[in-house]
Structure 1
Amino acid sequence: MTGRAVLQVRFLGHRPEEHPALVGLLTDLTPVVRALPPEGALADVGGALRYFGADAERLAGLLRVRALARHGVDCAVGVAHNPLLARLALVGRDGPGVWAVPGDPGGVAAFLAGLPVDALPGVGASTARALAGYGLGTVGRLAAAPPAALQRVLGAREARRLRALAEGQDPTPVVPGAPEPTLAVEHRFDRDELDAGRRHRALLTLADELGYRLRGAGQTAGALTLTVRYADHATTTRRRGLAEPTAHTPALLALADALHEALGLQRARVRAVALRAEGLAAAERATRQLSLDPADERRRGAERAADRARRRFGERAVGPAARTVVP
């Protein structure tokens, strides 16, 4: 792999306070590193290949060895020639390892072909359903669709954006220290938790905190990622797009619960759960389907009132009833 060489790294089973030191391992390889807390980082190692006399996959392997030797932490690493493909290389990968996307156009097209369209950034559940309804449920079919057909489904601007992503195009540079367009919260249990009800209450607290922070920043989320950390330090990560961009706590909680239920954790001993909001955008640019449900409007009104109380009296002045029983 020549030219740009990007590593998307997910650290597995680490403690949150270890994240800066783990990111520091990447800065030993290249200065072009962007931290993605709480569990990841992005690095452009293109300028380091000649210095180390190694290709990007070997540098990814070196990173894994150093993380294990110094911190007892393993990694999942996606390797590609741009950030989009490096990220997609980790779709569906829960365990440690190095996964590389071929650098030639044919190899990129073959890699992308079978991925679901909601793996692409900014494709939420409603967009994915609309595309699937036209037989465009995979990235390969999306890339092969006539531009006019895509414009009828998505509109001209979004059609152009998704077509470029479906072809693996991403000229975005890795900018050290750039603010990451995600927002993450985590809850660590006092003991390994077997009770699904207590895990639900923890997710309620996290969704409430996430929603409050998003609304306070004037942002909406397009997708949620749930990370579950187990007693043996293994982790499972699942991501799903929201039906529409939102900062509404009940919508965030519903998706968090759906992701949790889909894992089927019958007897798992859970050490921590984390939620990360992705695809952040300015709230004033978000479109929301009008609701005719008076109860939904009352909930949103109560949410606004609670936010005002929090800003005046502190974040813990108002919150979900379950907050007091989550350890």
Structure 2
Amino acid sequence: MRSVPSIIHLDMDAFFAAVEQASKPSLRGKPVIVGGLGGRGVVSTASYEARKFGVHSAMPMAQARRLCPNAAFLTGRFEAYRANSEIVMALLRERSPLVEPLSLDEAFVDLEAGPYGPALAGATPAEGAQLVLALAEDLRADIVAHTGLTASVGAAASKLMAKIASEQAKPDGLVLIEPGSERAVLAPMPVRALPGIGPATEQALRRAGLTTVADLADAGFEELVALLGKAHGAGVFQMALGWDERPVVPDRDAKSVSVEDTFEVDLADRDRILREIDHLAARCVRRLRAAGRSGRTVVLKVRRFDFSTLTRSETLRGPTDDPEVIGATARRLAMQVDVTGGVRLLGVGVAQLADYTQEDLFAQLEREERGRFRRRPSGRPRKRPRPPDRPSAAGGRART
């Protein structure tokens, strides 16, 4: 762990809504809600004026309309958000080459790798903290000057604590957590303040009488491993103590590519569901190819009428970007899911990404597999050809 709080976490304030307010003076100071405007749409971002009415991200748009009927409801302009994001990320890279974007409006920055790195390395803890504060305030002022948008910044000796600090700084603020004070800062927080602790983990911890981060630290390694499993329990224990040595990784590579749709009316007909999955698979493949990637694992996401969400996945014999293979695999996964009562949302994704593809082989095998169940006019099944020899990973076609 560092002696100087030289890792910062920047989070733009209500980013999508703020971009709309900055570009349209008539919206400034008024509640703005960005998201899907259909009957089944959800809120993507709500301005702070709208949040006063209880509106928040991921809320059904119909509920947001009931809570804040006088808000401006907008579908969003992705190109405008991307353009503003590029300006912000460029300002971050002026401070350090080690910028780890987490999304369009959020990133970690390691200031020790930038122009002020030598000054930070030679500073006392107090001097280092003052320099980091000055750099962070200068960054926030530059963002306002270039975009008209505000950002909240947290500074600390680790990514975990910098993220905690930026949450405390919202909106439009700056919080620095002194190295060595991590455990004292974390202790009174609820367990959900730690990343990776969702509702299910929270309930498991609550049943054991653990409701604060201090409770987690006091419970100890062995009890948390017994409750949550070895990997998760060990990670939660380390976070409860404020331990985090993860480096800032620039241009973090995407781990998966996915698309999803929420439907105006629940889909109850399985044939219709399978057709929608074909459309989603084709869109997913377009994104995959645009990124110059292929993948081995196909993932299907299904949200049912009662809001329960199921995921199913299948790992192929090699990476592919063939729409027929990915679509057929997603349809197979859909046959494992009970859709009685209707489906509200469908998603198709591809994970375990690679820079090469073996789609020629796997597309052929997939078509042959499907051909076994088709009948010739004579009524006899097709004879399945002998598959070609499997190429090695190194033999896959290189991307250019």
TM-score, scaled to structure 1: 0.57
Question: Counterparts in 2 of 1:218-229, with a 5 A limit?
Answer: 218=297
Indicate if the aligned counterparts of 1:5 and 1:45 stay in contact, CA closer than 8 A.
Answer: yes
Q: How does 1:232-271 map to 2 (within 5 A)?
A: 248-250=301-303, 254=307
Shift of 1:43: 0.3
* Change in CA separation of 1:180 and 1:75 when aligned onto 2, cut-off 3 Å: farther
Q: Does 1:40 align with 2:114?
A: no
Shift of 1:27: 1.0
Once the two structures are TM-superposed, the CA of residue 283 in structure 1 deviates from its matched residue by: 5.3
Counterpart residue number, 1:8: 9
Amino acid at match of 1:136: L
Q: 1:300 to 1:138 in 2, by over 3 A?
A: farther
Aligned to 1:79: 155
Amino acid at match of 2:8: L
Q: Which runs of 5+ in 2 are unaligned?
A: 20-80, 121-127, 265-278, 289-294, 316-334, 350-400
SS of the residue aligned with 1:70?
A: helix
Normalised TM-score (structure 2): 0.48
Looking at structure 2, the residues matched to 282 and 166 of structure 1 have their Cα atoms a distance apart, in angstroms, of 32
Provide the residue aligned with 2:143 in structure 1. Answer: 67
Q: Give the one of 207, 220, 224 matched to 1:146.
A: 220
The residue aligned with 1:22 is 88
2:96 and 2:211 mapped to 1: Cα distance?
37
Q: Is the 8 A contact 2:5 2:176 kept in 1?
A: no
C-alpha distance in 2 between matches for 1:41 and 1:253: 35
Identity of aligned residues (%): 24
Is contact 2:305-2:343 (8 Å) kept? no
Q: Deviations over 1:38-78 (max 9, x none)?
A: 21111000242545886222211110111111211111001
Which runs of 5 or more structure 1 residues have no equivalent in the other structure?
188-198, 202-207, 221-246, 257-280, 286-293, 309-327
Match of 1:176 in 2: 250
Letter matched to residue 62 of structure 1: D
Determine if contact 2:189/2:213 at 8 Å carries over to the other structure: yes
* CA–CA distance in structure 2, aligned partners of residues 46 and 297 of structure 1: 52
Q: State the structure with more CA Rg.
A: 2
User: What SS does the corresponding residue of 1:297 show, helix, strand or coil?
Assistant: coil
The amino acid that maps onto 1:39 is D
Residues in 2 aligned to 1:173 and 1:100: alpha-carbon distance in whole angstroms: 19
Partner SS state of residue 338, structure 2: helix
Residues 1:18 and 1:306: Cα distance change in structure 2 (over 3 Å): closer
Over 3 Å counting, the alpha-carbon distance change for 1:305 and 1:99 in structure 2 is: closer
Shift of 1:120: 2.0
Partner of 1:298: 339
Q: CA deviation at 1:148?
A: 3.0
| Contact 1:6-1:81 at 8 Å conserved across structures | yes
- In structure 1, the residue matched to 2:372 is none
Tell me whether 1:95 sits opposite 2:161 in the alignment: no
Task: After TM superposition, give the deviation of residue 125 of structure 1 in Å.
Answer: 1.1
Distance 1:185 1:90, change over 3 A: farther
Q: Answer whether contact 2:304 2:345 (CA < 8 A) is retained.
A: no
Decide whether the 8 Å contact of 1:248 with 1:300 is kept in 2: no
Report deviation, 1:4: 6.0
Number of matched pairs? 230
C-alpha root-mean-square deviation of aligned residues, in Å? 4.6
8 Å CA contact 2:284–2:348 kept in 1: the answer is no
Deviation at 1:28, TM superposition (A): 1.1
Give the whole-Å Cα distance in 2 for the aligned partners of 1:96 and 1:253.
Answer: 38
CA distance in 1, matches of 2:304, 2:194: 21
For residues 305 and 173 of structure 2, the distance between their equivalents in structure 1, rounded to whole angstroms, comes to: 31
Q: Higher RCO, 1 or 2 (CA under 8 Å, sep at least 6)?
A: 1
Tell me how far 1:118 sits from its aligned partner: 2.2
Preserved contact between residue 136 and residue 142 of structure 1 (Cα < 8 Å): yes
Q: d(CA) in 2 for partners of 1:252 and 1:138? A: 34
CA distance in 1, matches of 2:306, 2:134: 40
